[in-house]
A and B are shown apart, each in its own frame.
Chain A
Amino acid sequence: MDEIKDATRNYLKEHVLNLADGGALNDDTPLISSGLVDSITTLHMVEFLEQKFKIEFEPHEVDKEHLDTIDKIGSFVSSKITG
């Protein structure tokens, strides 16, 4: 699960977020509910997770219940991988 969380964190830092001003990205930082990540960005992230971990998301799984924090992403992707 740590691998998933690291990959997600790196992805967000690399492609999405502008953290140059020192904004922290912790495992429990709200992503969707805080507006830090919008719907388009979420889809890019989902695409990344699908390709990286060879999984497939269902449309209703793209929501803040599963993807709002790095912790939640880690758990959800992990449960997908293990089936």
Chain B
Amino acid sequence: MARSMDILYAKDSKGRHLIKASTDNIINLIVIYLGLLLCMWFVDTYAVESAFHLSAMFKVAVFAWPLYLLLPLSFRPLSLSVITLAASFFLFPFKNALIIDAALLGFCALFLLPVSFRVKLALVVLSTIGLAIFFSLYRSSSRLASFIPVVTPFFFFRGILYLHEYRHKTIKERWSEQLAYFLLLPNLSAPLFPIIDYRTYINSYYDSPALSIYKSGFQRILKGMIQIWGYRIFYHYILIDFTQIHTPANALQFILPTFLLILRIIGLYHVLTGIIMMYGYNLPPIFNNLFFATGFSDLWKRINVYWKNFIIKIFYYPIYFRVKRIGVLPGMILTTFTCFQVSWALHQWQWYWLKGSAPITLVDGLFWTAFGTLVAYNVWLQSRPKDKNKVFHPVVLRIRQILLATGVFSMMAFLFSIWTSPSIPAWIALFSNVRVHSFKDVLDAFALLSIYLGIACINFIFLDPSTRIKGIKSQSWYTHSFAGMAFLLMVCLCVQAPISNYLQNKTGYDIKLMAMNTLNRADAEMMARGYYDNLMVGNNVNSPMWDLDQAKPVNWVSFAESPLCVNRNDLLEKAMKPNFSASFKGTMVTTNNEGLRDRYFDTLKAPNTLRFAFFGGSYEFAPGVDSSEGFKYLFEQQLHNDYQLKKGDSIKQTEVINFAIPGYCDLQYLRQLELQGMKYHPDYAFFFVHSKRHERCEQFLFREVQLKLDLVYDKWKEVVKKYKLEEFHTDAQRSAKYAEATDTLMRWTDEKLVKTCSEHGIQAVYVLYPATEDHFSEAEVQANKAYAEKLGFVFLDLSQVFAGENHKDIRLAEWDFHPNKKGHELIAKSLMQACVQSQKNLHLNINKK
């Protein structure tokens, strides 16, 4: 014990500072540890980066930390690598963890191999090419390929920095210290990871008193957590839905928070680097008050210091030394501009390893070129001779800084809003409805900008050490830490059920929404409208969509990309290949002769048999679960095994045919009934209706009109003509007119469905149930019931099917919200109960056997 205390508290032979034994230090360590436990609770409560197992990684980091402190200094780097390798078993299933660890060690061995630089470079390049070919060819079919996006983030930038040092023969460290550079624990749950420089990392190892490093690390983690919370506020409550952009103030309310969403990455990077600091590496700051940059080159220096240093070291200086013969200033401007194009290329390189593709888009090009041009212009300004006699009065200086910061912030928000759009026309279309209706609209816009101006004033006058009023001092570590911890405790308590319910009743805001790593209303709306269909999600790292997309296995493709799908040139758009088997979302799907995910049915119904036909989309198709786990099968089994059905006096056998095709919306049910359903002579046609019914139908109508497909029904053609739908080519334009036209068509189509069913002796049934991420209010249920019954449907209410269930327990995965096995069991049970309750309306007699 005495020895370990010596080790813990002594100074080591290299003069590195450890902790001296004192009551104060012990109290400090206890405060830090309690704070870390609180942060752990926050990560769990707010599902921070849940798709990437941040919670599990954070727990390993927190629980391993005290043990790490007890180790002799010389053992610590190696133990850090061991912790990382062990942690993968907490984050991933056992077999996956084995493969990941083997791959990590294999690549580390490649980098650490004691050979000449040229040989090492050749080996790394050859391995990279081989891996890229393997990834391109097998990313959707090989299980091994699915580990590439987990393993490569450990190497794709740190590998370059390591080789740079190796080339210049500056690496003298022990192999265990080099290994610790690659095997960074937080990288396990962060495919996007700060680019930590090799030399900075090595030199920062206990370069200051240990306690001060732990204090800074903890404070950085705390700051990151609060920033992530701030991001959730902006994302869920401030950023508006694009359909609401009608005035200049709306446009600003859409554009300005776009840049603030970068808080997500800032917060995350603070947490990740903070964790590394807790293990003794005194890493420099990574962001520096970037929202208050007073110029574009100033912003470049503040926005991601590690990235900037990486670009300067590996690209800027080498390029500059090659081109400087054209002159110092022209050389700098040319190099600056080139480096932004290099940054773009490196982002593409990163996306390739994470996604398996990296399409070059105009918005990407525009963003990097515009940013590069602005920074190059600032370099020119900065290099001009300065007038030494020109001294600003402190007040003028602050006003100047506030105005410059406002300009830079607004410009970046503008560029970010373009960058995160799928295309330039789509971005322009967002603002096509903006009109100045009154002078108040202009004032509203200025009021919004003045909020930023106010915050900038507070920053430059009271907070920024270089500009604040003399006499204002920074708060102590204790004050900062306790304030931060109290804040975290409060926000964690706020989303606990009793308090959040109370707050929701008082304010009308659903506070719990913030604690879910899920899409906000605007993104969900845009996604439903297909706004993001062509977006390279990699750009939009500030949205949880990135999480969902990134965490998804590379072979988790959409129905349209799956081998099951065949395109049709009519209102059904897509169908499934008949008599075909293929793997889709991790399960084998087999289709029958009709191209349905079901067994074979004769079109002629056997005597004394009641046939149920299910019409629906992906929920009813049941992706990701075996066909024997889908609710259609479970419902059919209940009918066979547990219930006896009588129609009139005769006991009936039952059959359920599943006509569901992924992607189908309610407007397609009529056509499918006519083309496929009718020939099987069903007795009951169940039409499944979900949340976002209207949006999906509107999106479908928009597609059909844009593709100029034959709309078949005269009424549809008439409505398209009446509302002049062919004139609208963008999402924003179509919102008002299309909504009205869709309403008209949906009602007409539903009436026609009931009529067609009735003419063929089929009972039309309207089954309402929510998507797993949604719920219906009582008013919505009643409105649907009234609507369905008025048209002649039998209404089945499954609106409470997921009530009280945790979303995570009923979904396929973080990145796929379709019901899992449990979700389907709940639907089948609820559907059976609804049928029993409505047996009179269904003209059936349903008895339990």
Contact = CB atoms under 8 A, between A and B. Distances in A.
B199 A40 contact: no
A59 B382 contact: no
Interface stretch (B238-246, B255-263, B310-318): B310-318
Interface in B317-372: 317-318, 320-321, 324, 328, 332
A54 interface: no
Contacts of A35: 301
B552 interface: no
A57 B321 CA distance: 9
A23 B297 CA distance: 23
A39 B298 CA distance: 11
B164 interface: yes
B317 A60 contact: yes
Given A59-B317, A60-B164, A44 B199 contact: no
B383 A59 contact: no
Given A43-B328, A44-B328, A47-B328, A63 B313 contact: yes
Which of B168, B284, B317, B324 is packed against the most chain A CB atoms within 10 Å?
A: B317
Interface in A26-74: 33, 35, 38-40, 43-44, 47, 57-60, 62-63, 65
A71 B297 CA distance: 28
B712 interface: no
Contact of A20 (B168, B199, B316, B391): B391
A40 B382 contact: yes
Nearest to B379: A40
Which of B321, B379, B383 is packed against the most chain A CB atoms within 10 Å?
A: B321
Contact of A59 (B308, B321, B332): B321
B297 A59 contact: no
Interface in B139-181: 164, 168
A27 B379 CA distance: 27
Nearest to B199: A65
Contacts of A58: 321
Nearest to A62: B317
Which of A35, A39, A59, A65 is packed against the most chain B CB atoms within 10 Å?
A: A39
Interface string B272-303: 00000000000010000000000001000100
B332 A40 contact: yes
Nearest to A16: B386
A74 B328 CA distance: 23
Contact of B332 (A43, A57, A60, A62): A43
A65 B165 CA distance: 12
Given A20-B391, A60-B164, A63-B313, A40 B297 contact: yes
Contacts of A38: 297, 301
Majority SS at the chain B contact face:
helix
A59 to B, nearest CB: 4
A39 B312 contact: yes
A40 B391 contact: no
Contacts of A33: 284
Contacts of A47: 324, 328
Counting contact residues on chain B (CB < 8 A from A), the size range is 20 to 34
Contacts of A20: 391
A62 B335 CA distance: 15
Nearest to A41: B382
A36 B258 CA distance: 31
Contacts of B199: 65
B320 A59 contact: yes
Contacts of B321: 57-59
Contacts of A43: 317, 320, 328, 332
B328 A59 contact: no
A35 to B, nearest CB: 8
A43 B382 CA distance: 13
Contacts of B312: 39
Interface string A6-36: 0000000000000010000000000001010
A44 B313 contact: no
A40 B381 CA distance: 11
Nearest to B285: A35
B836 to A, nearest CB: 73
A57 B168 CA distance: 14
B807 to A, nearest CB: 45
Interface in B383-439: 383, 391
Contacts of B297: 38, 40
Contacts of B324: 47
B383 A40 contact: yes
A33 B284 CA distance: 9
Nearest to B319: A59
B168 A60 contact: yes
A39 B168 CA distance: 20
Nearest to B328: A47
Nearest to A38: B301
Nearest to A47: B328
Contacts of A40: 297, 332, 379, 382-383
Nearest to B391: A20
Contacts of B313: 60, 63
B351 to A, nearest CB: 26
Contacts of B317: 43, 59-60, 62
B316 to A, nearest CB: 7
A33 B312 CA distance: 14
A39 B316 contact: yes
Nearest to A56: B321
B195 to A, nearest CB: 16
Contact of B383 (A39, A44, A60, A62): A44
Which of B284, B312, B313, B379 is packed against the most chain A CB atoms within 10 Å?
A: B312
Contacts of B301: 35, 38
Contacts of B328: 43-44, 47
Contacts of A63: 313
A32 B42 CA distance: 37
B435 to A, nearest CB: 44
Contacts of B379: 40
Nearest to B321: A59
A62 B316 CA distance: 11
Nearest to B301: A38
A43 B383 CA distance: 11
B532 to A, nearest CB: 37
Contacts of B382: 40
Contacts of A39: 308, 312, 316
A44 B382 CA distance: 11
Contacts of B320: 43, 59
B539 to A, nearest CB: 26
Counting from the closest, the 3 A-B pairs by CB-CB distance are A59-B317, A59-B318, A59-B321
Given A47-B324, A47-B328, A58-B321, 18 more contacts: A20-B391, A35-B301, A39-B308, A39-B312, A39-B316, A40-B297, A40-B332, A40-B379, A40-B383, A43-B320, A43-B328, A44-B328, A44-B383, A59-B317, A59-B318, A60-B164, A60-B313, A63-B313
Interface of B: 164, 168, 199, 284, 297, 301, 308, 312-313, 316-318, 320-321, 324, 328, 332, 379, 382-383, 391
16 contacts: A38-B301, A39-B308, A39-B316, A40-B332, A40-B379, A40-B382, A43-B317, A43-B320, A44-B383, A47-B324, A57-B321, A59-B318, A59-B320, A60-B164, A63-B313, A65-B199
Interface of A: 20, 33, 35, 38-40, 43-44, 47, 57-60, 62-63, 65
